[in-house]
Amino acid sequence: MKQGIEGETGMLKEPKKANRRHVELAQKILEAANERAMTEGERLAEQAIANICNVSRTPVRKAFQVLAERGILLRDADGSYRFAIDPVKAVRLDDSSDATPEDDVRAAILRDLAAARISDTQTVASLQRRYGVTRLAVQNSLMKLSEENLAERGAGQQWLLKQFTVNADSGAKSYEFRLAMEPLALTMPDFKRDTTAILSLRQSMLALRAMDETNFDRRLFQRTDMDFHILIAKCCGNPFVAEALISHHTRRFALPTNVHPGTFRLMQSNTEHIQILEQIERGQMTLAADLMRVHIQLSQAVRPRLAGRGVPPSLKMTTR
Amino acid sequence: MTQEKTIAFFPEASYGAALNCVGIAQQLRSMGSRPVFICHPGFSDVFAEYGFPEYHLSDEALGGKTDWNEFINRHQDAFKQSPYAQLESYVRPTWDAIVETALAVEQPLRQLLNRLKPDAIVLDNVVMFPAIANAGVPWVRIVSCAETEIPDANVPPYLSGLSAEKSADWDAFMHEYAHVTAPAHKRFSAMMTECGLKPPPAPLFLGPSPHLNLLLAPDIIRYDRRKPLDPARFVYLNGCVRQEGEYQPPVFAAHNDGPLVLTSFGSLGAMDVSLVKQMIDVFAGLPYRFLVNVGQWRDEYTAVPDNVFVDGWFPQSSVVEKASLFIHHGGNNSFCEALYFGVPSLVMPYCWDGHDNARRAAETGVGRSLPRYDWQPADLAGAIEGLLGDTGMQQRLKANALQMQAHAGAHLAAEKILQVAKAKPDQAAARKTTSRRGGETNA
């Protein structure tokens, strides 16, 4: 059955989307605001922001509109904008806006691969049939997946999708990789602290720490979680390690996950992030690396595989 | 300042009991108490994930490795039988295993309780542990199985799946149940007697607590008991659901706007991959979204239909909240969660109180039952379509869900447990009371 990108049920239909460049700029503005410790109610000067972001005022105005639509900025009667919330509490902006057909096909391929709806061996023609899009759109999607190291050319017309990135074991293998690499990144001789970024990230984490189990903002946590791990990769001072880690983190935050941690675990995880940042700020990198090892091990989902009345305990082995 | 009370939870090693206790423990924590969990061997980290301290019982006493394939094959066959036939093939060996576990953990449990010194113990299990009765502190029983676990002349026999309308089948089932559980009960009674306790009369393995008994049983499916339970010691929670993070359903490649149906048979029920695949074949032809819990067998599933998403774990209560239908095995926790969120149940039981809940769902009009193995694709599809199209049932369930949520069973349980913990008698008095009442069967 052909699954058009628009889908028989309109699966990918969404309301009119903002321009991707404006969303990206809006995200950049948020980061700049955090670095400058801006707070709720503070006005944003259009020209100053344009200078910081190295763009003209017109896209800045558009980006302000994006932020206002998401409730982050308020537009005053005189047309100026101010923060409606403390920017440290802003979640990451959805960057799926203004997606191209290639983006949609790429996302659908990954989603369907993760859900075992398609096999890991495909051809352009088979994907074209499934998604009802042009040959060019499929080719471009595969090229993009190839650039991201998520697909590679196989024999003849075939493409091999890298199922190890999305299968049931991918989470465990990801933790294994991170356990080896992230403490290493923290102890690289050229590790350079980005104190401004650390300070701004800590503010967001402290905002999370002030929340309890009933009002914990999981989306804000997702943002700080990603920013935290990528910050460490960026700061490590070794371009090879940085590249490997950033690529891995980008992929793991973008792909579907089969891990559903409870809110309490996320709260603990936030506290662990803060503790690691504190040690980085103090220059205690070995201690930070040790805390990172603990953090990653605690984050591994461990559940009994088989449980029930009368099930012998030796069967209830756990998986990681 | 009120002294922080330590409440030791000891749920059996099943997800239903464990997660039910988590819901109550979350409430106790918010009230300033210190809930801790005593874990059966192999059932660790479930509670730590919710932020509760875990104390593990040693598994050294529980013998060597069990043959995994043999266990699965043996129970695959048993699960295809009627409740009556399962008495020999499943209920008997299960009770043997439960009593064996109770015997094995007795000493480590006693040592652990001596060190923990809790203010109260909460037992969510189907068997009594002498160490709990002798701990010198009040203990609370949670009945997280179907209400049939507490016998009454008007309640059909436990695990029978029989109708509430009394028949000769009741006596036949009770007679056979007593027969198959007799050897296990004999060993259990000897253990209780050795520990200075009066065992509950056969075929019961756990009598009511003299302090407090909490029943999950929601009002909408309760039985009309001939001898009502004493409200001073028996509290109906009308459901008891834990707090989970919000669940965002995945994007489906087809019918992404269709009603959401969750299918979960628990970790044991997921082991029949062939059956689940047959069900998925039926799901593929329906205009709905299906989430299917396939346990640890996720990699067995390929060519999954576009309107189906399989995974090894779901945060169940959060998913049920967003579902329009819940297909499950009749586990009491699953059944109560469906009622708590006003979601119809399609119960396909395979063992234990799942049979009772399947019958009760149909009898009380809160869902339907379908034999786990004896169905044709049109039967399954018809049941799903029928339940999703039954607006009368849906409205009734939504109204009932509001009542259940307002009842706040987990909060009520926590309050009652705290009352018991605060009224902690001295050790000798508690022991005396527990021993004397050990043989009671109900109110």
The pLDDT of A48-54, averaged and rounded, is: 91
The pLDDT of B286-310, averaged and rounded, is: 93
Task: Quote the ipTM score.
Answer: 0.74
Mean pLDDT of chain B: 90
Residues B147, B66 share a domain = yes
Is residue A147 over pLDDT 70? yes
- Which of A157-171, A306-320, B59-73, B375-389 is predicted least confidently? A306-320
Angle between helix B15-30 and helix B332-340 axes, rounded to 10 deg:
50
Rounded to the nearest angstrom, the minimum Cα separation between B426 and chain A is 34
Alpha-carbon span B346 to B265, nearest angstrom: 11
pLDDT for the residue B428: 41
Per-residue pLDDT tens digits for A118-128:
999 999 999 99
- Which of A100-104, A155-159, B193-197, B311-315 is predicted least confidently? A100-104
Alpha-carbon span B265 to A4, nearest angstrom: 33
Residues B359, B215 share a domain = no
Q: Percent helix, strand, coil in chain B (nearest 5)?
A: 45, 15, 40
Any B CB within 8 A of A256 CB: yes
Q: Which residues of B touch A258 (CB under 8 A)?
A: 298, 311-313
Contact B203, B185 (CB under 8 A): yes
Report if residue B229 sits inside a domain: yes
Length of chain B: 443
pLDDT for the residue A260: 77
Alpha-carbon span B424 to B138, nearest angstrom: 6
3-state DSSP assignment of residue B8: strand
Residues B15, B108 share a domain = yes
Please give the full DSSP string across B30-76, using - where no structure is assigned: HTT-EEEEEE-TT--STTGGGT--EEEPP-GGG-S---HHHHHHHHH
Residues B288, B210 share a domain = no
Residues B321, B400 share a domain = yes
Residues B196, B216 share a domain = yes
Report if residue B392 sits inside a domain: yes
CATH number of the structural domain spanning residue B358: 3.40.50.2000
Domain count, chain B: 2
Residues B314, B422 share a domain = no
Contact A107, A26 (CB under 8 A): no
Residue % of chain A over a pLDDT of 90: 56
Per-residue pLDDT tens digits for A272-320:
999 999 999 999 999 999 999 999 998 886 666 666 665 655 444 433 3
Report if residue B84 sits inside a domain: yes
Report if residue B249 sits inside a domain: no
pLDDT for the residue A21: 85
Alpha-carbon span B361 to A275, nearest angstrom: 50
Which two tokens mark B14?
């099943």
The pLDDT of B244-259, averaged and rounded, is: 89
Q: Which of B331, B299, B305 is nearest to B317 (CA)?
A: B331
Find all residues with CB under 8 Å of B173, minimum gap 6, and list them.
B83, B84, B87, B157, B160, B162
Report if residue B304 sits inside a domain: yes
Alpha-carbon span A134 to A128, nearest angstrom: 6
Mutate to test the interface with A, among B29, B43, B124 (most CBs of A within 10 A): B43
Residue B22: Cβ within 10 Å count: 28
Q: Which residues of A touch B184 (CB under 8 A)?
A: none
Residues 162-181 of A with CB under 8 A from B: 167-169
Contact A309 B306 (CB under 8 A): no
Of residues B276 and B75, more confidence is placed in B276
Strand partners, A161: A151
Residues B421, B401 share a domain = no
pLDDT for the residue A304: 62
The pLDDT of A172-190, averaged and rounded, is: 96
Computed on alpha carbons and rounded to an integer, the radius of gyration of chain B in Å comes to: 21
Residues B193, B82 share a domain = yes
Of residues A132 and A262, more confidence is placed in A132
Element (H, E) at B252: none
Per the structure, the complete domain to which residue B204 belongs is given by: 6-242+408-437
Find all residues with CB under 8 Å of A78, minimum gap 6, and list them.
none
Report if residue B442 sits inside a domain: no
pLDDT for the residue B275: 95
Domains annotated for chain A, with CATH where assigned, are: 20-89 (1.10.10.10), 101-165 (1.10.10.10), 170-302 (1.20.120.530)
Residues B333, B278 share a domain = yes
Contact B266 A308 (CB under 8 A): yes
Q: Which residue of A has its CA nearest to B255?
A: A9
Is residue B434 over pLDDT 50? no
The pLDDT of B327-332, averaged and rounded, is: 95
Per-residue pLDDT tens digits for B174-230:
999 999 999 999 999 999 999 999 999 999 999 999 999 999 999 999 999 999 999
Report if residue B254 sits inside a domain: no
Report if residue B89 sits inside a domain: yes
Residues B211, B302 share a domain = no
Is residue A109 over pLDDT 50? yes
Q: Which amino acid is at A291?
A: L
Residues B180, B321 share a domain = no
Contact B309 A303 (CB under 8 A): no
Computed on alpha carbons and rounded to an integer, the radius of gyration of chain A in Å comes to: 22
